[in-house]
Chain A
């Protein structure tokens, strides 16, 4: 269906306020990338600005091991800017939003500051990234919303950063990589979830690792391909951590969004989690409902990359097996390369489900998108 309806021109769609899919669309995962340390320097305080110079940090690319910019999966050829790394060009992103007729898009910046061991340096750099996102992206592209990049090395610093950004309603969630120093459900992190719940921010967990540990329980993999495949397993681990630790019992309004790792793995994971929970639930008496029920209520998953089965019938069954039409959120994962042309939505979804995925689920997930007056109020 995506290709057939894609013939309507971009300007005509804008007039109707709809996407190429005929309804409003919210793209819940697009990427912006820090081009160099120099881009952040204006947003650092004197101490850290001086540190950048004296320590030679401007020569330090902070490239993330798991995300080499030239790997095909991270740079769709026609979304690659003429100059610079994929995701560094506002014009390219705006063109992308035009092409789909996107109403809002949530920008995620995966940045090496989240990998550093010095937690104050991480806090300073994450703060600069967030300010840079607000000034260089959100101020210039009104359809853009963003995630607050959290200095996840220290929950106290995370909460301070959340408090600093919370007044800007264009930040709709916080962002952490799926693999870090500890399983994310642990109570150590709960101050972050308290702040997120209080401010109506979703907890965005994105594919990626700080490589504090091997990316799999069987050890260090040889290839990036293995690491990329392993992300879904990491999401499974984190989901069960959130459930088992009782995060959602403590923060009943919290929403968690899993980004960039498909969804076909979810049903079998929930079957296994449910069965194990039935056998050993005495261990975690605060988990009063099955993991499946809890996940369907609190967890959302962005669409791309669809880990698609070879045939449509299997895709339909897989979506049915999720057991809820509220879980999936539309995403293109721009500028990463998972599909060609405008074929971001799998074929054969019902119109009702398409509307849920494109619009209703994102609006339900990101409470801040419901506040339509926000952009004008906070623009300077």
Chain B
């Protein structure tokens, strides 16, 4: 996973991946900040150079919980020229798409995202540049790539305009939002974004992360990366609770959400918890017409990576049954350190061939309307 034990050429000599794969989480990267400049007005290029990233945390570029590997990446995912993992489409094609039989790969751009910028106009410029850049650098390079629309969620009208502008390009398959925004994403300030997504028949993708300015626990920031990384799971739980309890799905019954890289084994317990306490809190939330679990089941899908590995693999099978095979979509998180290899990652789930076809490709094709 994380340690170079073999030369690169040898590490690729693995059993052939025969199943068709739709990878719902691939991270493209820039080689440098200036790679986005061709897609930005001169004014914002200068801003990027002069002021740079202005965000709701103490370090402007990196996170204050340093990762355990350079650039959070697999050590074998560095292109030969030493450029950032994910920044060389040719290398990505060879190491990942071809080697793993990836039929379609959905890009989740995280670095240099405008979603976190406190300067909303700079954020909008960055988001727009990242959207152009995905198409130009990746989708035009290999027809298997699909892109995600990044937006400035804290400025809903601008986000809506960006969604409407991009939706015509069919290679954009979702609107990408950071789970950690300034407020819980169920709050009404974000509803215009959902309205635009529904109007354009686009789902919302929520990939773990974000810089909303709130500590990652209700008791402040944790000390270690192991805590910070794991706290993303609780972020996803809070997100589901917010969107369900605020009544987002009463307002937008066609809205579909996919939670990316947040895991899924916790979903049944959360659903039970929501239903249990709804019995007592009904009078506080009379706008909910149905049990919370029904909204969760209808509106949330999950990508598989990082797949949990309980001591007893039967536990995984139970969880998959409780969630439903239809709601899971395979992802690798390439090129990050906790990457899931399609040859091995789901073997302990005890899936039938038909179930494998659904999770590895069929569910995502249906969800995103991919061909």
What is A's interface to B at a CB cutoff of 8 Å?
71-73, 178-186, 209, 212-226, 228-230, 232-234, 236-238, 240-241, 244-245, 262, 264-265, 267-269, 271-277, 279-284, 292, 305-310, 314, 317-318, 321, 323, 337-338
Contacts and interface: CB of A to CB of B under 8 A. Distances in A.
B238 A230 contact: yes
Interface string B303-324: 0001011111001001100100
A213 B311 CA distance: 35
B234 to A, nearest CB: 4
Interface of B: 1-2, 68, 179-187, 210, 212, 214-227, 229-231, 233-235, 237-239, 241-242, 245-246, 263, 265-266, 268-270, 272-278, 280-281, 283-285, 306, 308-312, 315, 318-319, 322, 337-338
A271 B265 contact: yes
Nearest to A180: B219
Contacts of B322: 309, 314
Contacts of B235: 216-218
Contacts of A317: 315, 318
B2 A219 contact: no
A212 to B, nearest CB: 7
A34 to B, nearest CB: 23
Given A222-B187, A223-B245, A310-B272, A179 B218 contact: yes
B281 A234 contact: no
B268 A279 contact: no
A159 B232 CA distance: 33
Given A236-B234, A268-B266, A307-B272, 7 more contacts: A180-B219, A218-B179, A218-B180, A225-B278, A240-B226, A308-B272, A310-B272
20 contacts: A71-B281, A73-B281, A178-B218, A186-B223, A216-B214, A216-B234, A218-B180, A218-B210, A218-B238, A220-B183, A223-B285, A225-B285, A232-B273, A234-B218, A237-B217, A272-B263, A272-B308, A305-B277, A308-B272, A309-B272
Contacts of B269: 232, 262, 264-265, 267-268, 307, 318
A281 B224 CA distance: 10
B113 to A, nearest CB: 17
Contact of A284 (B184, B224, B308): B224
> Which of A72, A216, A241, A275 has the largest count of B CB atoms less than 10 A from its CB?
A216
A216 B238 contact: yes
Contact of B181 (A219, A274, A314): A219
A230 B275 CA distance: 13
Contacts of A321: 310, 312, 315, 318
B370 to A, nearest CB: 29
A310 B311 CA distance: 25
Given A275-B306, A314-B322, A237 B315 contact: no
Nearest to B220: A182
B315 to A, nearest CB: 5
Given A221-B184, A284-B226, A317-B318, A279 B215 contact: no
B308 A271 contact: yes
Contact of B277 (A73, A269, A282): A73
Contacts of B217: 179, 183, 213, 217, 234, 237-238, 241
A228 B306 CA distance: 28
A304 to B, nearest CB: 11
A244 B1 CA distance: 21
B278 A276 contact: no
A218 B239 contact: yes
B281 A223 contact: yes
Nearest to B186: A222
Contact of A72 (B246, B280, B318): B280
Contacts of B1: 279
B308 A275 contact: yes
A243 to B, nearest CB: 9
B265 A314 contact: no
Contacts of B181: 218-219
Nearest to B233: A272
B226 A179 contact: no
Contacts of B274: 229
A183 B227 contact: yes
Contact of B218 (A73, A214, A224, A292): A214
Contacts of A269: 233, 266
5 pairs of A and B residues whose beta carbons are closest in the complex:
A179-B218, A216-B238, A233-B234, A225-B281, A237-B217
A262 B218 contact: no
